[in-house]
Amino acid sequence: MIFSGFYRFVKFLVSHRYLIWSMAKREIASQYVGSFLGFVWTFIKPIVTICIFWFVFSVGFKSRPMGDVPFVVWLAAGLAPWFCFADIVTASTGAVVGNAHLIKKTQFPPQILPVIKLISGLVTHAVFIVILAVLLLVQKVPITIYSFQFVYYLFCFSMLALGISWLVSSLNVFIRDVGQMITLLLQVGFWGTPIFWDINMFSEPIQKWLMLNPFFYIVQGYRDSFISGVGFWEHGAYNLYFWAVTAAALLGGAFVFRKLRPQFSDVL
């Protein structure tokens, strides 16, 4: 049943690929309307963010290198997936409400709106990956075959983000407090995920609780890919745990969106 539903979803996306891509390009272009530097800001923002955090933690708090890897590289590898995930979920929260004119006046398929936000976020993420690759070269961290493993983890957090996006975008139509709740939860998730700190600083029982956060799997996966050279297959049962949570998010988000969709036009 799960595989047949996934097949129908992929088939649906393929049939609407031109609409999705057209709206995704418009979404990206709208971010830089009237901007002199335009798409250059996509590079400036992550570079400035990394520099600020690097200065605060490396210079201010005297953070030491993580093993043989400079702290700035270790930090960037954790920031890259989180920023993309947070941007996708935040943007998707208001996706249905922000396109009320399409939903009320046409036979527009609203379920593609979070997909459009996902594609838009992945474009920015590609820029972050380029910056990370430059950091690896500058800091003389070798790029190995494991580095390409990040594509798997990219798919992982894309599916997790899509499931959550369907859920929050549909609920936000009826409960406008959802946007504020998501902002708060993402702040908690940001500091509750080992992006700036090493999970090994805690005892083993606490580590097990922290690892229940599914995004720890993603952050650690990016570091395994670009820094440690550890294959995802080496995580054993933790792979199953992550995909169980992600499948629940996808199925739950799709179910709620499907149930609430007929009432969107009445509320909007």
What is the 3-state secondary structure of 173-203? HHCCCHHHHHHHHHHHHHHHCCCCCCHHHCC
Rounded distance, CA 113 to CA 92, Å? Answer: 7
Domain count, the chain: 1
Q: Residue 143 — very low, low, confident or very high, per pLDDT cuts 50/70/90?
A: confident
Q: Residue 35 — very low, low, confident or very high, per pLDDT cuts 50/70/90?
A: low
Q: Residue 102's pLDDT is what?
A: 81
Q: Residue 120 — very low, low, confident or very high, per pLDDT cuts 50/70/90?
A: confident
Hey, CA dihedral for 212, 174, 262, 9, is it positive or negative? negative
| Residue 99, pLDDT above cutoff 60 | yes
Is residue 90 included in any domain, yes or no?
yes
Q: Residue 30's pLDDT is what?
A: 74
Q: Residue 158's pLDDT is what?
A: 93
Q: Residue 7's pLDDT is what?
A: 67
Which residue range is the domain that position 56 belongs to?
38-267
**Section 174-192 average pLDDT:** 89
Is residue 66 included in any domain, yes or no?
yes
Residues across the chain: 268
Is residue 29 included in any domain, yes or no?
no
Q: How far is CA 89 from CA 118, 155, 177, 188, in A?
A: 8, 15, 15, 14
> Which one-letter amino acid corresponds to residue 195?
I
Q: What is the mean pLDDT of the chain?
A: 84
Is residue 242 included in any domain, yes or no?
yes
Is residue 85 included in any domain, yes or no?
yes
**Section 123-134 average pLDDT:** 86
Rounded distance, CA 92 to CA 116, Å? Answer: 9
- Residues 39-86: tens digit of each pLDDT: 666 677 777 777 777 677 666 655 665 567 788 888 888 889 998 899
Is residue 23 included in any domain, yes or no?
no
pTM: 0.87
Is residue 20 included in any domain, yes or no?
no
Is residue 5 included in any domain, yes or no?
no
Q: Residue 225 — very low, low, confident or very high, per pLDDT cuts 50/70/90?
A: very high
